[in-house]
């Protein structure tokens, strides 16, 4: 298999992850980078799914995207397209992309472009819309659609111009290293990274002479107001890192984790593009006033790519401030969580050193064998959507993948290697 042992292959995979050199290099319409995105084609989060099996927030996001693209004039016409199989669906992961929550991405939505200069590959993610009624949680009212048009017409082009003016793009590893020391874990908490990002781009935006002053102000204000803006940069970074590591098609390191509201899917290095799925769980956490677990949507989103690279819930210890928000207690619980995650990982990332963890690097390389052997599944920090489209986020919490995903992956890899007992 090119490697003497599975352990040797696994080490090669995490070496690729450590060596990754992710740079934010552009913001462009999705169709400019993803040729599959044409008229009547939408990307979605998670492993493959049919429209009829999507949860309501993902269906709502589909309606919003259709209205944004003007493929239909109203909700009824949009539903007619969807229910009559007039829309083609592709998982974001299949086209070098990732998408938050519903992950619904259409051709004219701007995407962040992250280049991994170690391997030369790119990955893409749409931009964060802020909080409240947003497409990723299934809202599709006029305010949501108008904001998407503003992002297409103003935010994307202005941010793209600013990033292109940077001589080498924006070094994401440096930003993550700064922000992890300031209390971010890059899934639920991104405020330090978002402000560090703003610090880098604001001076450039303010001097873009070919952009109207009013638009420059709008963009800077939006970035200042959007605490989670960096999450989408981190997601594209994780995808760029893991797609490079996936070139080593051997071993048992998890290379993707994602959810579509119906199934949780993982990939491992030794099985290439194959998905191993099992029914998703519903996240547990602290609900906003007036909501309970009865209102929660099953787990959705590609944002678990952050945990796949060792941050997010895996690095809970880096973000003590977020532990109460996700319902996991206090500092001791965060420490216990991250310590437990080391039991299913084979190394640590020296690029992402965590001060609150005696400067250990974030844990790296989830080994599906260890997950099955120890019965410990990765912990994922996540937002929780209302099960009815349009209500938006009702909670933040944690969720675990079903262990069956890992069992299926290990069994398939064993068979690939000739172990059929």
Where does a domain end: 233, 267, 293? 233
Output the CA torsion sign for 269, 270, 271, 277: negative
Structural contact between residues 219 and 212, judged by C-beta atoms closer than 8 angstroms = no
Which CATH number is 162's domain given? 3.90.1710.10
* Residue 93 shares a structural domain with residue 213: yes
* Residue 217 shares a structural domain with residue 81: yes
Specify if 177 maps to a domain: yes
Structural contact between residues 244 and 118, judged by C-beta atoms closer than 8 angstroms = yes
Where does a domain end: 233, 257, 288? 233
* Residue 253 shares a structural domain with residue 229: no
User: Domain range for residue 291?
Assistant: 249-416
Q: Determine the 3-state secondary structure of 303 from DSSP.
A: coil
Q: Dihedral of the CA atoms 301, 307, 313, 316 (nearest 10)?
A: -150
| Measured distance CA(396)–CA(318) in Å, rounded | 17
Where does a domain end: 201, 233, 265? 233
* Residue 93 shares a structural domain with residue 205: yes
* Residue 362 shares a structural domain with residue 314: yes
* Residue 266 shares a structural domain with residue 394: yes
* Residue 221 shares a structural domain with residue 283: no
| Measured distance CA(204)–CA(132) in Å, rounded | 29
* Residue 274 shares a structural domain with residue 405: yes
* Residue 225 shares a structural domain with residue 293: no
| Measured distance CA(38)–CA(375) in Å, rounded | 43
The Cα angle at residue 371 between residues 370 and 376, in degrees rounded to 5: 120
Structural contact between residues 223 and 162, judged by C-beta atoms closer than 8 angstroms = no
Structural contact between residues 235 and 186, judged by C-beta atoms closer than 8 angstroms = no
What pLDDT does 71 receive?
98
* Residue 124 shares a structural domain with residue 219: yes
Q: What is the number of structural domains in the chain?
A: 2
| Measured distance CA(280)–CA(225) in Å, rounded | 32
* Residue 222 shares a structural domain with residue 361: no
Which CATH number is 328's domain given? 3.90.1700.10
Q: Tell me how many helices (H) and strands (E) the chain has.
A: 15, 16
| pLDDT by residue, tens only, the chain of 421 residues | 589 999 999 999 999 999 999 999 999 999 999 999 999 999 999 999 999 999 999 999 999 999 999 999 999 999 999 999 999 999 999 999 999 999 999 999 999 999 999 999 999 999 999 988 899 999 999 999 999 999 999 999 999 999 999 999 999 999 999 999 999 999 989 999 999 999 999 999 999 999 999 999 999 999 999 999 999 999 999 999 999 999 999 999 999 999 999 999 999 999 999 999 999 998 888 888 888 888 999 999 999 999 999 999 999 999 988 877 655 578 888 898 899 999 999 999 999 999 999 999 999 999 999 999 999 999 999 888 899 988 888 888 889 999 999 999 999 999 999 987 6
* Residue 225 shares a structural domain with residue 255: no
């Amino acid at each position: 298999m090119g490697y003497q042992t599975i352990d040797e292959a696994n080490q090669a995979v995490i070496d690729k992850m450590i060596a990754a050199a992710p740079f934010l290099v552009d913001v462009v319409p999705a169709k400019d980078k993803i040729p599959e995105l044409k008229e009547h084609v939408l990307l979605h989060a998670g492993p493959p799914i049919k429209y009829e099996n999507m949860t309501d927030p993902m269906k709502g996001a589909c309606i919003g995207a259709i209205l944004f693209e003007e493929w239909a004039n109203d909700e009824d016409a949009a539903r007619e397209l969807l229910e009559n199989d007039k829309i083609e669906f592709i998982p974001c992961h299949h086209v070098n992309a990732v998408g938050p929550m519903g992950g619904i991405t259409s051709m004219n939505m701007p995407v962040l472009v992250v280049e991994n200069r170690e391997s030369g590959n790119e990955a893409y993610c749409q931009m964060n819309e802020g909080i409240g009624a947003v497409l990723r949680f299934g809202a599709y009212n006029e305010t949501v659609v108008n904001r998407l048009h503003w992002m297409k017409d103003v935010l994307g082009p202005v941010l793209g111009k600013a990033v292109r003016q940077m001589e080498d793009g924006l070094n994401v590893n440096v930003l993550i290293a700064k922000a992890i020391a300031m209390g971010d874990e890059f899934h639920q908490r991104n405020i330090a990274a978002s402000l560090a990002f703003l610090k880098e781009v604001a001076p450039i935006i303010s001097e873009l002479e070919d952009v109207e002053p009013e638009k420059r102000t709008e963009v800077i204000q939006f970035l200042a107001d959007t605490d989670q803006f960096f999450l989408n940069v981190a997601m594209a970074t994780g995808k760029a890192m893991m797609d490079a590591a996936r070139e080593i098609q051997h071993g048992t390191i998890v290379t993707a984790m994602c959810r579509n509201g119906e199934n949780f899917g993982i990939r491992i290095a030794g099985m290439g593009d194959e998905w191993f799925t099992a029914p998703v769980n519903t996240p547990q956490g602290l609900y906003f006033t007036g909501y309970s677990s009865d209102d929660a949507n099953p787990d959705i989103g590609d944002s678990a790519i952050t945990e796949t690279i060792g941050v997010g819930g895996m690095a809970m210890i880096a973000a003590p401030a977020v532990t109460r928000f996700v319902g996991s207690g206090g500092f001791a619980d965060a420490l216990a969580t991250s310590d437990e995650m080391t039991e299913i990982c084979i190394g640590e990332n020296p690029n992402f050193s965590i001060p609150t963890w005696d400067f250990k690097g974030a844990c790296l390389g989830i080994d599906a064998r260890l997950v099955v052997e120890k019965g410990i599944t990765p912990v994922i920090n996540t937002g929780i959507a209302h099960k009815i489209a349009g209500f938006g986020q009702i909670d933040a919490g944690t969720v675990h993948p079903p262990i069956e995903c890992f069992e299926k992956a290990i069994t398939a890899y064993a068979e690939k290697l000739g172990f059929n007992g």
